[in-house]
């Protein structure tokens, strides 16, 4: 399999995992659940982003939780398919494909989400030992800053370092590095809003800080 790939010819298994990963990523769960429960188009409300964070803000907790779990499942299943059919290289390609499919879905005119939840599903399947430290990083930044976007970028930044220092294979280290760069790139609009001071905060954390407890 690797010889064919390195010589410029891609094996059928590798081509298949890319196609499967991309079309799994295309399933717009946030759009579907928001439509079912609120009869609204998530692209027309909130930030317009077809992702779990906007689903929480625009559709409520149930829609947000369902969207989050489903988007994580996309990454989990795609990584499993890639590993099963193409080994670690297949897992790498399927992981990249599902995130690209989520962010640029052909069914929604290539306007999707940011891929954070799908990357979470990939990490859970391929590198479960990284889940706890990444969760600590994510929620620590979120509680201190009150920004989901900053938490996502922070976790993405540390992901390849954790993969490297935990002794992951080079396939998985490359996967995490590419995914980290891509996730941060997808947050470029959030970075601009953070710079200008008009990024949306997390309301329930705002209420905690505004209470008499702090």
Domain span including residue 66: 2-210
Please spell the DSSP secondary structure of the chain, one letter per residue: -HHHHHTTPPPHHHHHHHHHHHHHHT--HHHHHHHHHH-S-GGGSTT---SHHHHHHHH-HHHHHHHHHHHHHHHHHHHHHHHHHHHHHHHHHHHHHHHHHHHS-GGGTT-----HHHHHHHHHHH-GGGHHHHHHHHHHHHHHH--HHHHHHHHHHHHHHHHHHTT--HHHHHHHHHHHHHHHHHTHHHHHHHHHT-----HHHHHHHHSTT-
Residue 194 pLDDT exceeds 50:
yes
What does residue 6 show for φ and ψ, rounded to 5 degrees?
A: -70, -25
Give the per-residue pLDDT at 24. 97
User: SS3 for 150-195, per residue?
Assistant: HHHHHHHHHHHHHHHHCCCCHHHHHHHHHHHHHHHHHCHHHHHHHH
CB 173 within 8 A of CB 110: no
Tell me how many domains the chain contains: 1
Average pLDDT over residues 83-92: 95
Query: What tokens were used for 180?
Result: 């980290």
- What's the whole-number average pLDDT of the chain? 89
CB 71 within 8 A of CB 49: no
Average pLDDT over residues 159-184: 97
- Predicted confidence (pLDDT) per residue in 8-32, tens digit: 445 888 999 999 999 999 999 999 9
Radius of gyration for the chain, computed over Cα atoms and rounded to the nearest angstrom: 18
- Model confidence at 209, pLDDT cuts 50, 70, 90, reads very low
Residue 205, by phi and psi: left (phi above 0), alpha (psi -120 to 50) or beta? Answer: alpha
- The torsion angle over the Cα atoms of residues 12, 13, 19 and 22, rounded to 10 degrees, is -150
- Which one of 3-17, 157-171, 184-198 scores highest in mean pLDDT? 157-171
């Amino acid at each position: 399999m690797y010889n064919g790939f390195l010589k410029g010819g891609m094996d059928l298994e590798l081509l298949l995992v890319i196609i499967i990963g991309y079309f799994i990523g295309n399933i717009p769960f946030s759009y579907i659940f928001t439509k079912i429960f609120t009869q609204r188009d998530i692209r027309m409300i909130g930030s317009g982003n077809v992702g779990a964070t906007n689903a929480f803000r625009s559709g409520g907790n149930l829609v947000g939780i369902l969207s989050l779990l489903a988007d994580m499942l996309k990454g989990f299943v795609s990584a499993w398919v890639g590993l099963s059919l193409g080994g670690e290289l297949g897992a790498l390609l399927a992981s990249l494909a599902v995130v690209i499919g989520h962010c640029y879905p052909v069914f929604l005119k290539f306007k999707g989400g940011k891929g954070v939840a799908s990357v979470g599903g990939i990490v859970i399947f391929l590198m479960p030992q990284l889940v706890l430290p990444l969760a600590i990083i994510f929620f620590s930044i979120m509680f201190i800053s009150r920004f989901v976007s900053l938490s996502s970028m922070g976790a993405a930044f540390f992901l390849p370092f954790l993969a490297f220092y935990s002794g992951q294979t080079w396939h998985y280290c490359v996967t995490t590095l590419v995914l980290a760069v891509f996730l941060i790139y997808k947050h470029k609009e959030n970075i601009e809003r953070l710079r200008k001071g008009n990024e949306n905060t997390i309301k329930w954390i705002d209420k905690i800080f505004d209470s008499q407890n702090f």
